Amino acid sequence: MNRAYLQQGLRFLIILLVQVLILKRINVGSGDFNYFHLFLFPLCLLLLPYNMPKIGAILLGFISGLMLDLFYDTPGINAACSVLLTFIRPVIHLWLEPRGGYTMNASPTIRSMGNRWFISYAAIGMGIYILSFFSLQAFSFVFILSILLKSIFSFILSFILILIYMYVLQPEN
């Protein structure tokens, strides 16, 4: 088996376990001001290699999202958000494509693409995931203020967590 795929699978499993066993239990808000939720899991989907077939990425996003839904008691919400993120990921790649193009067997990391590109890429992807998560969770425009507050605060904390992960562990592929 290819070493890169083994590393991807191990990273996927570790991030999923950290999300389920640690981040789920962290409660930053209190009382009525419970707008902080930590998301590290979408990083797994964002770091998939460029050359991964779209249908394979969508299927992987769906299955891993369902596994996350089992632990979070969110019937299908993480699965839907994961499918959305993996579906729109190639479009984000097109928007941010550098002049020289991409190295197709690489993953979109800070090391391979640089700080500015990765921060833009991760911000767009995380924004889509988090906004869709809270929109599907509330499922009504009546809660638009709550959706926006949860999305903004959760995005800030989650993005800081992702940057810490990327700078400390510096995954290659």
| All structural domains of the chain with their residue ranges | 3-169
Query: How many Å separate Cα 95 from the centre of its chain?
Result: 18
User: What does the DSSP 8-state code read for residue 142?
Assistant: G
pLDDT along the chain (173 residues), means of 10: 74 88 76 75 90 91 93 91 95 84 74 87 96 90 88 93 87 63
- Residue reference for tokens 């009546």: 142
Angle 113-98-106 from CA coordinates, rounded to 5°:
40
Q: Could you tell me where the DSSP H helices lie in the chain?
A: 3-21, 42-46, 54-72, 77-95, 110-113, 115-138, 144-169
Query: How many Å separate Cα 3 from the centre of its chain?
Result: 23
At the top level of CATH, the class of 3-169 is mainly alpha
Give the predicted TM-score (pTM) of the model: 0.88
Q: Would you state the pLDDT for residue 33? A: 61
C-alpha to C-alpha distance for 28 and 33, rounded to whole angstroms: 9
Q: Would you state the pLDDT for residue 107? A: 78
- Residue reference for tokens 């993953």: 107
